[in-house]
């Protein structure tokens, strides 16, 4: 009897903190030679951090950091990306690290060109580049400047380069997220060749279909830990999703979705039909009635934010149509959407919403100022009235409306932003992750407010990565998978289980989404 060969990579019980905040708290990853290994987890689960430790971009040397890494037969600890690369670990990033103006051949051998009498031997560079491309079955002109290639082709050049420096483990972190189907298939063909060569690949993707198409096994991470390792054949899509989200199927409870339901023939307030907003949104439809909250569900990268961007004029869809009150709607900008009564609360309040140096009063009323102006002057009394009204209504905790908004807690800042749009009395409110990063109390306040606004007749579209919240706050869920709306789950069957099943493309998930 022979003992089984140790895995190529054995990363065990890794802990990593940033400024005392743990990002990894017991993560493990084992990869065999000749294996394509999927790595999956919700946003923030720790995938990228794990990979950065593996590739030498982060060191395991802070307080509270620990763990062991064995690679290719012995313990390792990479002090730099160069050290990891020298050992045979090559990351392929989405933004490929190639020199755009140089040719494919030059890029393949950049920094290690074959030389003759001390000079670069260009003839050999081209010969070896050609041989490499042939070996990998790639049909890319080696004379072309890399900058003129598609993203997929650039990634293939990066992979070819990794293979030629004899990478034993190639890591692809979300490499496919901006590729179309044909390009993904091309990439997979080279991944399969690498596997056949005995190399290993770690493949991070949120597209479940891709994991099943290319991976042998999968490691699921959640909250900085490895929570499951399985052969692809032994785990269903639904199990993958429930494990990622940390939901026991048996324990999944029914939402408290209200029984508000529009009359079947009522004209939708806002309707989106077969919207495409590439590359993330391919074909998405939804109907929103006045007084209704539609929850947009989907895994990370399914296209929720990008669909919203099309709904409020930030992106112009390349196909499909929007209707407001049954009338065709073509939005050129968010300002136009606002003018038509469609407001959007950004997922990223720091980058897109809040003005940290301005006061609560100014942050709250900034969008309203044009309407408060008289003869070019702001009507201060009217402004104060609106500001006071919303501070009271949303329970914004501030010492004084003149206080800089940056001094408020995250939850209160979020309420100020929400008030900014509510003050405009929109008919449609798009809420992208309205409760992310705020405390429990503020979350409950926002949930209550959403219910109340809908009861008053507003139409609300909501995304949240907290499934429980989505089910509790929505009257109907529209599930996006890979940029396509695949199910519409009405209140009576709206459960976490039904949403996850649709996200995972598993068994019954409410009504199929009609197209056309
Ligand atoms: P994933 O790739 O699975 O989305 P990440 O590894 O990017 O997850 O993040 C895991 C956690 O670590 C998150 O809470 C993130 O905010 C935190 N984190 C990641 N990198 C850093 C960093 N450089 N500084 C501080 N926190 C970080
Ligand atoms: Mg990541």
Instruction: State residue 253's pLDDT score.
Output: 40
Average pLDDT over residues 42-54: 91
For residues 462 and 474, give the distance between their C-alpha atoms in angstroms, rounded to a whole number.
8
Length of the chain equals: 516
Cis link prior to 278 (omega < 30° from 0)? no
The residue whose CA has the least distance to atom 27 of ligand 1 is 18
**pLDDT tens sequence across 281-315:** 999 999 999 999 999 999 888 899 999 999 999 99
Atom 6 of ligand 1: nearest residue by CA position: 46
Compute the mean pLDDT over every residue in the chain, rounded to the nearest whole number: 87
Question: What pLDDT score was predicted for residue 96?
Answer: 63
Per DSSP, helices labelled H in 167-283 are 181-196, 208-214, 237-245
113 in helix, strand or coil? coil
Residue 176: pLDDT over 90: no
- Cβ atoms of 331 and 295 closer than 8 Å: no
Summarize pLDDT for 105-153 with one digit per residue, the tens: 998 888 788 888 888 888 999 999 999 888 877 888 999 999 898 877 8
pLDDT digits (tens, 9 = 90+) for 350-389: 767 889 889 999 999 998 888 888 777 888 999 999 999 9
346 — pLDDT class (breaks 50, 70, 90): confident
pLDDT of residue 178: 67
pLDDT attached to residue 442:
82
Q: Is pLDDT of 272 > 70?
A: yes
Q: Tell how far the Cα of 49 is from the centroid of ligand 2, in angstroms.
A: 7
Q: Give the distance (Å) from ligand 2 centre to CA of residue 27.
A: 15
Most confident of 96-110, 210-224, 241-255: 210-224
Closest among 175, 167, 242 to 211, alpha carbons compared? 175
Which range among 92-96, 219-223, 305-309 shows the weakest confidence by mean pLDDT? Answer: 92-96
Residue minimizing CA distance to atom 19 of ligand 1: 49
Of residues 251, 238, 287, 261, the one with CA closest to residue 488: 287
Ligand 1 mean position, distance from CA 24 (Å): 9
- pLDDT digit string (tens) for 416-473? 999 999 999 999 999 999 988 787 778 888 888 898 899 889 999 999 888 889 999 9
Q: Is 62 in the pocket of ligand 1 (CB under 6 A)?
A: no
Q: Is there an atom of ligand 1 within 6 Å of 41 CB?
A: yes
Mean pLDDT across 71-96 = 87
Q: What is the mean pLDDT of residues 330-339?
A: 93
Token code pair at residue 183:
């390009």
Q: What is the pLDDT of residue 489?
A: 95
69 alpha carbon – ligand 2 mean position (Å) = 20
pLDDT of residue 258: 44
φ and ψ at residue 508, rounded to 5 degrees: -55, 130
CA distance 172 to 498: 31
**Which ligand 1 atom sits closest to the C-alpha of 204?**
2
Flag the least confident range among 132-141, 170-179, 398-407: 170-179
Closest CA to 511 of 492, 487, 494, 495: 487
Across residues 389-406, what is the average pLDDT?
A: 92
Closest ligand to residue 94's CA: 2
- Test site for ligand 1: of 40, 43, 44, most ligand atoms within 8 A of the Cβ: 44
Give the model's confidence band at 254: pLDDT under 50 very low, under 70 low, under 90 confident, else very high: very low
Where does the pLDDT of residue 263 fall: very low under 50, low under 70, confident under 90, or very high at 90 and above?
Answer: low
Rounded to the nearest whole angstrom, what is the distance from the C-alpha of residue 383 to the centroid of ligand 1? 41
For a pocket test of ligand 1, which of 11, 27, 49 has the largest count of ligand atoms closer than 8 A to its C-beta? Answer: 49
Round to whole Å and give the CA distance between 23 and 439. Answer: 20
Distances 341 to 255, 277, 337, 484 between C-alpha atoms, Å:
29, 22, 6, 26
Please identify, by atom number, the ligand 1 atom nearest to the C-alpha of residue 58.
23
Closest alpha carbon to 433 in 295, 301, 335, 276: 295
State if residue 437 touches ligand 1 by the CB under 6 angstroms criterion.
no
């Amino acid at each position: 009897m022979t003992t089984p060969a140790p895995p190529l990579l054995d990363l065990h019980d890794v802990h990593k903190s940033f400024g005392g905040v743990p990002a990894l708290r017991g993560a493990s990853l084992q990869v065999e030679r000749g294996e394509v290994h999927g790595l999956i987890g919700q946003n923030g689960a720790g995938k990228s951090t794990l990979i950065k430790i593996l590739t030498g971009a982060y060191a395991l040397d802070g307080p509270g950091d620990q763990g062991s890494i064995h690679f290719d037969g012995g313990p390792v600890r990479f002090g730099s990306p160069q050290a990891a690369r020298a050992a045979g670990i090559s990351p392929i990033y989405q933004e490929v690290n190639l020199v755009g103006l140089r040719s494919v051949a030059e890029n393949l051998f950049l920094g290690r060109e074959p030389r003759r009498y001390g000079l670069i031997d260009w003839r050999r560079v081209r010969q070896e580049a050609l041989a490499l491309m042939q070996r990998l079955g790639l049909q890319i002109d080696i004379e072309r400047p890399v900058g003129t290639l598609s993203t997929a082709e650039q990634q293939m050049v990066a992979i070819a380069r990794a293979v030629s420096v004899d990478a034993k483990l190639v890591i692809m972190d979300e490499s496919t997220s901006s590729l179309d189907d044909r390009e993904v298939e091309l990439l997979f063909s080279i991944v399969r060749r690498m596997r056949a060569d005995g190399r290993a690949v770690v493949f991070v993707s949120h597209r479940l279909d891709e994991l099943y198409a290319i991976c042998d096994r999968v490691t699921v991470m959640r909250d900085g830990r490895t929570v499951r390792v399985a052969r692809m054949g032994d785990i269903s899509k639904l199990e993958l999703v429930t494990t990622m989200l940390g939901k026991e199927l048996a324990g999944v409870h029914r939402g408290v979705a209200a029984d508000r339901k529009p009359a079947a023939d009522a004209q939708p307030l806002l309707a989106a039909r077969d919207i495409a907003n590439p590359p993330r949104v391919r074909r998405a439809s939804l109907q929103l009635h006045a007084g209704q909250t539609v929850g947009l569900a989907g895994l990370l990268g399914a296209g929720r934010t990008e669909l919203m961007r099309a709904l409020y004029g930030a992106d112009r869809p390349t196909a499909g149509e929007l209707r407001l009150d049954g009338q065709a709607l073509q939005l050129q900008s968010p300002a136009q959407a606002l003018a038509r009564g469609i407001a959007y609360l950004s997922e990223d309040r720091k980058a897109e919403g809040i003005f940290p140096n301005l006061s609560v009063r100014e942050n709250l009323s900034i969008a309203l100022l044009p309407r408060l102006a008289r003869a070019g002057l702001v009507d201060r009394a009217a402004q104060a009235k609106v500001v006071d009204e919303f501070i009271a209504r949303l329970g914004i905790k501030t010492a004084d409306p003149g206080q800089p908004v940056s001094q408020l807690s995250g939850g209160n800042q979020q309420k100020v932003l929400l008030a900014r749009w509510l003050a405009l009395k929109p008919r449609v409110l798009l809420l992208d992750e309205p409760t992310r990063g705020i405390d429990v109390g503020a979350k409950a306040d926002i949930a209550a407010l959403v219910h109340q606004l809908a009861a008053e007749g507003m139409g609300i579209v909501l995304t949240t990565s907290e499934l429980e919240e989505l089910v509790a706050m929505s009257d109907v869920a529209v599930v996006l998978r890979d940029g396509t709306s695949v199910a519409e789950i009405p209140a009576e069957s709206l459960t976490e289980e039904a949403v996850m099943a649709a996200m995972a493309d598993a068994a019954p998930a409410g009504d199929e989404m009609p197209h056309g």
